[in-house]
Amino acid sequence: MQARKKLYIKTWGCQMNSYDSDRMADILGPLGYDKVDVPEGADMIILNTCHIREKATDKVFSDLGRLRPHKDQKEKDGGKMLIAVAGCVAQAEGDFILERAPYVDMVFGPQTYHELPEMIVKATGERVINTEFPANSKFDSLPGAHGSRSASAFLSIQEGCDKFCTFCVVPYTRGAEFSRTVKEILDEAYNLVENGAKELTLLGQNVNAFHGEGPDGSVWGLGRLIREIDRIEGLERIRYTTSHPRDMDDELIAAHGDIEKLMPFLHLPVQSGSDRVLELMNRKHDAALYRDVVARLRAARPDLAFSSDFIVGFPGETDEDFEQTLGLVRDVNYASCYSFKYSARPGTPAANMKTALVRDDIASERLARLQTLINEQQRTFNQSCAGMTIPVLFERKGKKTGQIQGRSPWNQSVYVIAPDRLIGCILDVNISEGFENSLSGTVAIGEEYAQN
């Protein structure tokens, strides 16, 4: 029997990249590759990259630099280490990577990794670049999802984006928006649940723009899809991310009202609270629409908690615009948020805007002010959970010995001291304290009955 080979995958970026990395491992398993945790001595290395902000690319190149001696060593030992750069940097800067890092064997984008077996054969003789947007979707030829056997699994249902926000690379790196068919999604969902998933997070860069073909040939929206997924026995929690405010339709809002498995937490990026900036960003919604969507969702599900993404220092953003962002944050009152300084991305319309750029020190100051407010809201939200008993899905060991970590319905990290065998279970936890980034507590009851 041929010896098994070692596969090391490092993943940056969004959950879709995590999903893709798991699928690459699924494809390579039957070819003899087993995943390992360190790059040293691996037969194949895949860097699954993200292009969303500047530093992401720099990190890829510094990682590549560190890998080079390992590759040389492997060759000295008579072996071969294939180095592949995958994902969104590969898509955007494939030629540049091959030029700047001559020891990279393969470069392929997010839509072509199902061709990995052929690419590997080819890469033994020449360097391979594959940044097409093939007519046949990768989903048509992926093996069933096996990579994730955890209690919480990702499921990509939609790819790409047609929104073209002026700052964003996603429409270029992931390509045009398309939805998988309902049948394909349900098959994968059942498979994941059979393999132990209790929670499914439906993924897409624009997940609520989902418009997949249903079994009857009609087009299904996300609300209808979630209703169908809700029927899967053994599945206890459903989430979806990332949504666009404009695609939040009545059916989806209603789903939040009456589907208990749909968790009361929603990531709904707004980017800015100023209509002027939203217009420059080509977000296709204003602050009023966002506020209205939030209000309608809260009316459907009063305990719904929100998170968002913000960009500060977008070209042309004034103090007044920024104050409007702070005002919106105060009004919505978030459970958590991500915030970034604007980073000009090559090839995007905003990178060529003639509008006055915001000075870096001003952007930094705005970011710090926004983050102070966001952190305050997050801490208050977490502290408000102290004294409550809430169901927690335990996912992994905690950082401290004897500790395990899980998620509350509102996506907060919860730490308890409890045996590892509870990982994979949903158990009630008495929350004793809420911190800025997490909750702590003790398992309430039933620990002795919980089985893996």
Question: Which residues of the shown chain bind ligand SAH in the complex (CB under 6 A)?
Answer: 52-53, 167-168, 170, 205-206, 242, 244, 269, 271, 309, 311, 340, 342-343, 345
How many CA within 13 A on the CB side of residue 426? 16
Using rule CB under 6 A, residue 267 touches ligand F3S: no
Interface with ligand F3S (CB under 6 A), residue from 85, 88, 335, 363:
88
Distance from C-alpha of 108 to C-alpha of 92, rounded to nearest angstrom: 10
| SS (HEC) of 435-447 | CCCEEEEEECCCH
Nearer to ligand SF4, 5 or 246 (CB): 246
Using CB under 6 A, pick the residue from 44, 67, 151, 170 that binds ligand F3S.
Answer: 170
Rounded to the nearest angstrom, the gap between the alpha carbon of residue 157 and the centroid of all alpha carbons in its chain is 13
Residues between 2 and 21 with contacts to ligand F3S, criterion CB under 6 A: 13-14, 16-17
Alpha-carbon span 240 to 203, nearest angstrom: 6
Nearer to ligand SAH, 97 or 168 (CB): 168
Report DSSP state, residue 132: -
Q: Which of 169, 189, 238, 392 binds ligand F3S (CB under 6 A)?
A: 169
24 binds ligand F3S (CB under 6 A): no
168 belongs to the binding site for ligand F3S (CB under 6 A): no
Q: Which does 340 bind (CB under 5 to 8 A by kind): ligand F3S, ligand SAH, ligand SF4, none?
A: ligand SAH
Is 242 a binding residue for ligand F3S by CB under 6 A? The answer is: no
The residues that touch ligand SF4, with contacts defined as CB under 6 A, are 161, 163-165, 168, 170-171, 205-206, 244
Report the C-alpha gap between 403 and 396 in whole angstroms.
Answer: 9
Question: Given its phi and psi angles, is residue 407 left (phi above 0), alpha (psi -120 to 50 degrees) or beta?
Answer: beta
CB 405 within 8 A of CB 395: yes
DSSP labels, 220-275:
E-HHHHHHHHTT-TT--EEEEE---GGG--HHHHHHHHH-TTB-SEEE---B-S-H
Spell out the residues 6+ positions from residue 10 whose beta carbon is closer than 8 angstroms to its own. 39, 45, 46, 47, 48, 63
Number of residues assigned to the chain: 452
For the bound state, the minimum distance from the C-beta of residue 328 to ligand SF4, rounded and expressed in Å, comes to 17
For residue 126, the minimal CB distance to ligand SAH (Å) is: 34
Closer Cβ to ligand SF4, 104 or 165, answer by number: 165
Residue closer to ligand SF4, measured from CB, 168 or 425: 168
Nearer to ligand F3S, 173 or 348 (CB): 173
383 binds, among ligand SF4, ligand F3S, ligand SAH, none (CB under 5 to 8 A by kind): none
CA 440 to chain centre: 25
- For tokens 């948020």, the residue is 337
114 binds ligand F3S (CB under 6 A): no
**Binding site partner of 171, from ligand SF4, ligand F3S, ligand SAH, none, Cβ cut-off 5-8 A by kind:** ligand SF4
- 87 is an interface residue for ligand F3S by CB under 6 A: yes
**In Å, how far are 54, 149, 406, 426, 446 from 449, measured between CA atoms?**
49, 22, 18, 12, 5
Which CB atom, from 123 or from 270, has the smaller least distance to ligand SF4? 270
Distance CA 257, CA 195 (A): 29
Question: Which residues form the interface with ligand F3S (CB under 6 A)?
Answer: 13-14, 16-17, 50-52, 87-88, 169-170, 173-174, 205
